[in-house]
Amino acid sequence: MEHHHYILHKPYGYLSQFINNKRRKKKLLSDLYDFVDGTMAVGRLDIKSEGLLFLTTDGKLSEEIRSKKVEKEYYVQVHGFPSEESLEKLRSGIRIMIEGKPHTTLTSVVERIEFPEHLPLELRKVRDEKHGPMSWLSITIREGKFRQVRKMTAAIGHPTQRLIRYRIGGEKLDGISFGEVRKVERLQLV
């Protein structure tokens, strides 16, 4: 069987799914492109998150991407300016709740960054300046628990204001406009 693979720059406000089981109208991935039947999103992004999303018809590849073998890098705009001590907590593993149970995250790579001007991002206001300053972090993880990055930054007292998945394995968001879908022969996992 021939498999199909896609790279998508998921815009803010879209569900990472093809069917809406709720009665309320939501924007879906199927609104962006006519995907082949059997296509699934790999490592979903919540409705408020944006950035790189893989889609494939290959279930084994989906499992590999979601495994701890493949790095996922996020650009995260957070409230305030986390101290070096707070960043070290993120790096060494922090306790968060996943499905009502405590979970300690694996070690992460965490760095301060400037606004990622090199990316074709949708320019949108996240909030007013009167709510205080914000800063940007790059957070690279090897797991992908439900809303993990958001829970990690909240645990150090710096809630996420904007979340952009920049990289999965060797694939990066560079040069892909928001909402753009590219069909590819294979996905670069390293």
Give the tens place of pLDDT for each residue, 157-188.
999 999 999 999 999 999 999 999 999 998 88
**28: which 2 tokens?**
């879906």
CA distance 51 to 29: 13
Whether the domain at 5-67+170-184 and the domain at 72-168 fall into the same CATH topology = yes
The per-residue pLDDT for range 55-106, each reduced to its tens digit, is 999 999 999 998 899 999 999 999 999 999 999 999 999 999 999 999 999 9
| pLDDT interval class at 130 (50, 70, 90) | confident
- For position 20, what pLDDT does the model report? 78
State the catalytic residues. 46
What topology is assigned to 5-67+170-184 in CATH? Alpha-Beta Plaits (3.30.70)
- For position 1, what pLDDT does the model report? 78
User: What is the widest separation between alpha-carbon atoms in the chain?
Assistant: 55
Does the structure show a pLDDT above 80 at 127? no
Structural domain spans, the chain? 5-67+170-184, 72-168
Higher pLDDT among residues 127 and 8, named by residue: 8
Closest C-alpha to 134, from 107, 153, 110, 118:
153
CB 174 within 8 A of CB 119: yes
The mean-pLDDT minimum among 8-12, 15-19, 108-112, 133-137 falls in: 15-19
Does the structure show a pLDDT above 90 at 35? yes
Closest C-alpha to 7, from 190, 177, 146, 148:
177
**Residue 93 CA: distances (Å) to CA of 67, 77, 78, 185:** 18, 20, 18, 36
Higher pLDDT among residues 167 and 145, named by residue: 167
User: How long a stretch of residues is the chain?
Assistant: 190
Could you tell me which CATH class the domain 72-168 is placed in? Answer: alpha beta
